Amino acid sequence: MKEFEQLLQKADWKKEKHVPVLEVKQKDGLVQVEASVGKEIAHPNTTAHYIAAIELYFLPEGEKFPYLVGRHDFAAHGASTDGPDTSTVYTEPRVVAVFRTEKPGTLYAQSYCNIHGVWVNKEKIEMQTR
C-alpha cells in the first residue's frame, strides 16, 4: 500500500497543466496569494475532466505544522439537466487568498484533478522589510 505522500505529483507548471501556480504579493503586513491551474497550458474544464479543488497551506519558519490558509472547491463543469457539457457555466481553477503573518515560511498549494490526482507546488515567503 502506498503512503499518501507517494501519491503527490510534482512538475514544472510551465510544462504540466495540473500544477498549481502561486503568485505572491505582500503589502502592509498582508500576504496575498493567487493560486491557479493551467496558467501556461490550459487545463480542460469539462464535465468529465476538471480541477475539483485547490488548497493552500502556510508553514511558518521554525514551526512544526502548517496552517490551512484556505480551500476552494470548483463545482461548475458544464453539466446541466440536458447532460454533460451542455451548460454555459464553467468555473475557472483560480483563487485568491489573503492572510497575515509575522514570520517567513513556505506556502504550499495542492490541486486535485478528478482524472490525474493530486499535484503540489510550493513557494518561499520572505518577510518584506520597510
Structural domains present in the chain: 4-125 (2.60.40.730)
**pTM, 2 dp:** 0.89
pLDDT of residue 129: 56
What's the rounded mean pLDDT across residues 125-129? 77
pLDDT in tens, 64-73: 999 999 999 9
Strands 67-73 and 94-100: unpaired
- Residues annotated as catalytic are 16-18, 43, 49, 113, 116
Distances (CA, A) of 123 to 32, 56, 104, 108: 13, 11, 11, 7
